[in-house]
Structure 1
Amino acid sequence: MSSTDRIERELVINAPVARVWAAITEPDQIMKWLGDFAEIDLRPGGRMVFGWSAHGRFNAVIDEVEPTSRLVYRWSSEDGAEVTDGNSTRVEYSLAAEGAGTRLRLVETGFDALAYEPEVRAAKHADNVGGWRAELGELKEYVEA
């Protein structure tokens, strides 16, 4: 994997695992830290939609759910597009108790497989690097409040 195929972020959130899990899986909570629109059918094969007024709405399909510990989905990199092999990346959240808090690990992969020119793939990767940095900071702030 190239350095532009993968994004990894890890942080400790001063809140119990159940609270962090709710914040990443319940639409009303997702909208408090990740965009301004969310729909989620929390089951393998279930559909998700994430929306930002400035960026559009992005469809996703859930691959795996292990309540309170793991959520994996593929999401489209194109506003309004259905999820396909050529337009989606894979996002994995892993949660584990750490003392009274939660260690959250996020890994997003698949940028190299996007069906775009290399510079477009690199730009999408760079956008998501910055996006996750900001959004996970907002998640931490929201959950700890």
Structure 2
Amino acid sequence: MIKPHVRFAAVLAAAYLLALLMIAFWPTPVDRPVSGNLSSILGWLHAHGLPLFIGYNKIEFAANIALFMPFGYIAGIWSRTWWHPLAAGFAASFIIELGQEIFLPQRFSSLLDVVANTIGAGLGFAIFALLQAMHLRRQESVEPVR
């Protein structure tokens, strides 16, 4: 029998992957509906001290990193080595960008997105590895010495 927490994790992973696919292969740019609002917010933030070099491109890059962090975390659950989640993140991102280039004329494929997504997958795995190490250290300190 599958444990409830394993089933819950599998459902969350499936929901994340579905959302990722919807974002990646939406026929039009997913930020189009909020681009005007984002520009207004950035203008206000710049007027109130946000450095001018932080613009839309930097925010999009950071958003791509954040989008793939769960990917790296999930990949870390299945593979305890650092390079599997990194390679999977790179491959998934490359396939997404290639698919956008070939099949979605209104979308813009970018090698910078591949870089950002791969960084995100790596950071997601790093968080997984850190939490695993903390969990193991805590278990070792709780277990009685024989």
TM-score between both structures, scaled by the size of structure 1: 0.30
Structure of greater Rg: 2
Higher helix share: 2
Higher strand share: 1
TM-score between both structures, scaled by the size of structure 2: 0.30
